[in-house]
Amino acid sequence: MVEKIAAQETEYTLYYGTFVHTPTLGKLEILKYTLVGVDKSGTIDFMKQDVHNEVQDIGVLSFYKQETKRTVSTSSIKVVDISNEQLKFFLPGFIDTHIHASQYPNLGVGLGCPLLEWLNEYTFPLESSFTENNREEKLAFAQDVYSKVVKKTLVCGTTCASYFATIDADTTRLLADLCLEAGQRAFVGKVCMDDNSVYPEYQEDYDTCVKSMEEVNSHIESINPKSEVLVKPIVTPRFAPVCSRKLLSYLGSLADEKNLPVQTHLSENTKEIELVRTLFPECKNYTSVYDDYHLLKDTTILAHSIHLDNDECNLIQKKGSTIAHCPMSNSFISSGESPVKKYLYKYNINVSLGTDVSGGFKPSILETVKHSILASQHLHMHTKHESFDPRLTVADTIYMATMGGATGVGLQNVVGSFAVGKKWDTQLIELDSSDSNIDIFGWNDRFLDGTKESVIKYYTNLLNIWVFTGDDRNCTKVWCNGRKVIDKSKQGAGMTAINN
């Protein structure tokens, strides 16, 4: 049985305090004194804002019973109340739409090495180690790597991740098992590549790929608890240059027939784009390669997508695909600066965030938020002559980290914001956690005068302080599907999903 955390029973819980989310692009909502009810299935079934006066008069439980007209025993309801703690707020769980779980051991390695050279020198040799040893040895290695990356992402507030594994079926199945055991929502992709001429030691033939895809997808579909589907397969052609036309055609048909999402790479590096032109001369551009093989759809995640022309942007928007912005990796291996603001506001393309471990050097979406903003500032410095301002706001990036990611994986009606009917995939942020890197002073609340405007300004400032000076130490509790999977509080010290 692998459904360790995912199948745990939960109790009805009321959460009362400050909620911060971005239900629409660019719109930051700060909901002070909000009460949210989460049922045993992890679904939000009650939400009411600005209830301070009512709750102060009769209490949380009495107010809830009065509002819902439900006859329930107070002993059957748990209450989590942070309403009197100004430095705490609930935020939707982060969604990492591009992360290579197998590359976790290479974090911080390969600075400045261009993409194609970086793949050959660092990435392909590491991923090969998941396939070269006997079954027992490779599974032991994968257990060590994958359990650590799942734990680390959860600790950083990532409640949903879209993972690239490797070409190996056994260890990819293990990754799916570990996600479910830890209670993390995940999309797990067996990497598909049958034409890796630059590093032929790491590839598989077409027939082997088809067989292993069937094995992996069947396994993932079988392991979820009957009540919930937390872990799903995702079609994963690594990128066009290492896939034959026959394989791309098969994967496009598979995605259509099984209604599966797709993840791949696009236009990360200029030499990569030149290589695609050489390999696929019949296609109009790089993006068209995926479209021609039915891999461009409204549940397709296109990682990087830095160097797109106007036609490609229009095609991506038309198909409803998502661009996964990976600024840490784009800088670390010198790929370029992506004009994300233009994608969002000029072309109306959905954009999410990806850590892109290990091109990205931290498995933290909060770190990715910081780098997204800073990269857009640098883009502005040398494109001031352009009419379109490329600078991203904190609200833009929090949206990309939550609702943008949810849309990218097709879960926009399930997670990404707080609303009745959505799942409780949430993190508790504490700026004054016991080991916090953040210092807060009386100066920070000097303008609080009790008005709604001053409260919004106060929490907007706190959010900015957390974004730029905070880290995973401020994410003290994490829930996925209503279940607590991380608890760093004194009562839950040391308790994480992976060792529960």
Cis peptide bond prior to 288, omega within 30° of 0: no
For residue 432, tell me if it sits in a domain: yes
Residues 189 and 278 in one domain: yes
Domain C-terminal end among 389, 408, 427: 408
In a domain, 6, yes or no: no
Is 442 within the bounds of a domain?
Answer: yes
Q: Collapsing DSSP states into helix, strand and coil, what is residue 307?
A: coil
Q: What is the extent of the structural domain holding 258?
A: 95-408
Are 18 and 30 spatial neighbours (Cβ–Cβ below 8 Å)? Answer: yes
Claim to verify: residue 35 and residue 136 sit in the same structural domain: no
Distance (Å) of CA 403 to CA 24, 147, 202, 207, 411: 8, 26, 35, 38, 9
Total number of domains constituting the chain: 2
Residue 208 and residue 64 in one domain = no
Which residues on neighbouring strands pair with residue 495, listed in sequence order?
487
Element (H, E) at 302: strand 300-304
Q: Is 17 helix (H, G, I), strand (E, B) or coil?
A: strand
With a CB cutoff of 8 Å and minimum separation 6, the contacts of 299 are: 260, 261, 262, 408, 409, 410
Looking at residue 281, what DSSP letter applies?
A: T
Q: Is residue 429 part of a domain?
A: yes
Strands (E), 197-280: 231-233, 236-237, 262-266
Q: Cα Rg for the chain, rounded, in angstroms?
A: 23
Q: Which candidate, 224, 253, 208, 372, places its Cα nearest to that of 304?
A: 372
Q: In this structure, are 146 and 71 located in the same domain?
A: no
Shared domain check, 188 and 51: no
CA 268 vs. chain centroid, Å, equals 19
Last residue of a domain, one of 408, 439, 466: 408
Hunting for tokens 């590491």 — which residue is that? 126
Per-residue pLDDT of the chain (500 residues; tens, 9 = 90+): 455 666 676 899 999 999 999 999 999 999 999 999 999 999 999 999 999 999 999 999 999 999 999 877 778 899 999 999 999 999 999 999 999 999 999 999 999 899 999 999 999 999 999 998 799 999 999 999 999 999 999 999 999 999 999 999 999 999 999 999 999 999 999 999 999 998 999 999 999 999 999 999 999 999 998 888 999 999 999 999 999 999 999 999 999 999 999 999 999 999 999 999 999 999 999 999 999 999 999 999 999 999 999 999 999 999 999 999 999 999 999 999 999 999 999 999 999 999 999 999 999 999 999 999 999 999 999 887 778 899 999 999 999 999 999 999 999 999 999 999 999 999 999 999 999 999 998 888 888 888 889 989 999 999 999 999 999 999 999 999 999 999 998 655 544 444 43
